[in-house]
Structure 1
Amino acid sequence: MKKVLRGLGRLALVLLVLCAAVLALLGLLRWRGLLLFAQEADPEQWEVFGVDVSSYQGVVDWPVLAEQGVDFAFLKATEGSALQDRQFSANWAGAFAAGIRAGAYHFLSYDSSGDAQADHFISVVPRTEGMLPPVVDIEFYGAYLTDPPERAAVRAILDPLLARLEEYYGVKPILYVTYRSYYRYLAGGDYGAYPIWCSSPVVFPLVPGWTFWQYSHTARLPGYYGSQDKIDLNVFRGGAAEFQRFGNPA
């Protein structure tokens, strides 16, 4: 009997270790953005909702999105020092025409200088009355998924980019982050004054002081016709009046 009990104990220990390993793997995949869960957060308590789109959503029917209660939209504009989203100009004009407050985002490259990336963004995104602050999207791509750059190297690119955008648009840019990018590059640094747009599709954002929450990567809405049938959903942390005041240049 003692041998049987010892055997059961060892089996339980093995199963416990396997479960822990599986949970750790799932957590790692989710942290790196390689795994999406079917059941995502649903922030019903917020009243200002938005989407973010790129060329993957193709042609967007902005009045149709407006009819569904979309208050704002972040539109991909640029990436690095040379790439421009081919739908940006149409999306920029269409969103404002439909009464949706728009903002433009830039996908940060670790392979070109902050000044070169600022020049590129400024050449593409016009200063427009009522626009949301520019966004710098801080994620990982390619080989940087497994071998991310050091904090000092990223700051050497990010800091001049932010300074240039703030000078040109008259307002502090928004920083789009995943948990991995936030805690690797921003936490404990000098970025507390910048609004945070946090990607957290499963739980309430676990970064301090966030302003926008990207709570779903798997939504489907009528009104866009591209290679991607899903669209990201977001909320603003505040009421409608506060949203109208947010991000207006001094």
Structure 2
Amino acid sequence: MQQPAASRSPRPAPARRWRWVAAAVVVLLVLGVVAAWFLLARPGLRDGEVHGVDVSRHQGAIDWPAVAADGISFAYIKSSEGSDLTDVRFAENWDAAGRAGVERGAYHFFTLCRPGAEQAEHFLRTVPPDAAALPPAVDLEIAGNCSQRPDPEAVRAELDAFLAPVEAAWGRQVVLYVGEDWEGEYPVLDGSTRPAWLVSFVGRPDRPWTVWQHSWWGRVDGVEGRVDLDVARLDELDRPA
């Protein structure tokens, strides 16, 4: 029912409306600056920590001397996936990072669709043991994985079938990159003694870590476009198997 004219609420004055608009714009700008800081900035380092990146073919050609000059001390480089996929830029990145003085390690994307033993064989063919390199890492994520979802016991068995021969060949524990989606469906962190590589965009992870990925949208000289940024305690990485 229409109200009598005398009882209708007065419309805000134009000046008042513009003040609200201006305040909203300021709030959005502040939130944007805060978000950009969390996504792009490098956190301060504590004793024993260094800055690093993890890369794959998606970064394209990388100028590794420029990366090293931008304060990047280490890099984890994608080598392989499943039982037959080799990253097309692995050999190029591996050699160039080493020549630039960047400490390098290789990581394997673990698929739920292939046996763990086959994946270990493929990884070891691609990245033979190298005492001068960082220990291998395995990327455990549901995102980007195949459509199969085996039960947790089966996944645990296949992951063990990957880890055992890789650690035996390298003589060092494999670093576990664990996405939150993976940990929610296939928990591996509780009770594990292996170095943990955790993701947290809003501060340091709330559980023990050895490598911390703090951004998926970082910028580094020598890399065109975005790149994952990490912090590592390298002296904690080299744990005997």
TM, length-normalised to structure 2: 0.76
Structure 1 pair 80/143, CA: closer, same or farther in 2 (3 Å)?
Answer: closer
Q: Name 1:57's counterpart in structure 2.
A: 59
Q: Name 2:119's counterpart in structure 1.
A: 117
Aligned match of 1:82 in 84, 88, 100?
84
Q: Name 1:40's counterpart in structure 2.
A: 38
Whether 1:233 aligns to 2:229 is yes
Whether 1:105 aligns to 2:107 is yes
TM, length-normalised to structure 1: 0.74
Whether contact under 8 Å (1:130, 1:248) holds in the other structure is no
Task: Give, in angstroms, the shift of residue 133 of structure 1.
Answer: 0.8
Cα distance in 1 between the residues matched to 2:170 and 2:122: 14
What's the secondary structure of 2:155's corresponding residue? helix
What's the secondary structure of 1:213's corresponding residue? strand
Task: Give, in angstroms, the shift of residue 152 of structure 1.
Answer: 1.1
CA offsets per residue over residues 179-225 of structure 1, 9 Å max, x none? 232243235755x211000122233213x321000001111222134
| Alignment-mate amino acid for residue 202 of structure 1 | V
Cα distance in 2 between the residues matched to 1:138 and 1:182: 8
Whether 1:218 aligns to 2:220 is no
Percent identity between the aligned chains? 40
Task: Report the number of matched residues.
Answer: 203
Q: Name 1:164's counterpart in structure 2.
A: 165
Whether contact under 8 Å (2:113, 2:146) holds in the other structure is no
Whether contact under 8 Å (1:178, 1:200) holds in the other structure is no
| Alignment-mate amino acid for residue 93 of structure 1 | D
Q: Name 1:71's counterpart in structure 2.
A: 73
Q: Name 2:204's counterpart in structure 1.
A: 204
Whether contact under 8 Å (1:55, 1:86) holds in the other structure is yes
| Alignment-mate amino acid for residue 142 of structure 2 | F
Cα distance in 1 between the residues matched to 2:87 and 2:55: 10
Cα distance in 2 between the residues matched to 1:157 and 1:230: 33
Structure 1 pair 189/204, CA: closer, same or farther in 2 (3 Å)?
Answer: closer
What's the secondary structure of 1:121's corresponding residue? helix
| Alignment-mate amino acid for residue 224 of structure 1 | V
Whether contact under 8 Å (2:195, 2:236) holds in the other structure is no
Cα distance in 2 between the residues matched to 1:45 and 1:142: 31
Gaps of 5+ in 2: 1-34
Structure 1 pair 43/204, CA: closer, same or farther in 2 (3 Å)?
Answer: same
Cα distance in 2 between the residues matched to 1:135 and 1:235: 15
Gaps of 5+ in 1: 1-36, 238-242
Most deviating of 213-222 and 136-145: 136-145
Q: Name 1:182's counterpart in structure 2.
A: 183
| Alignment-mate amino acid for residue 167 of structure 1 | A
Cα distance in 2 between the residues matched to 1:103 and 1:129: 11
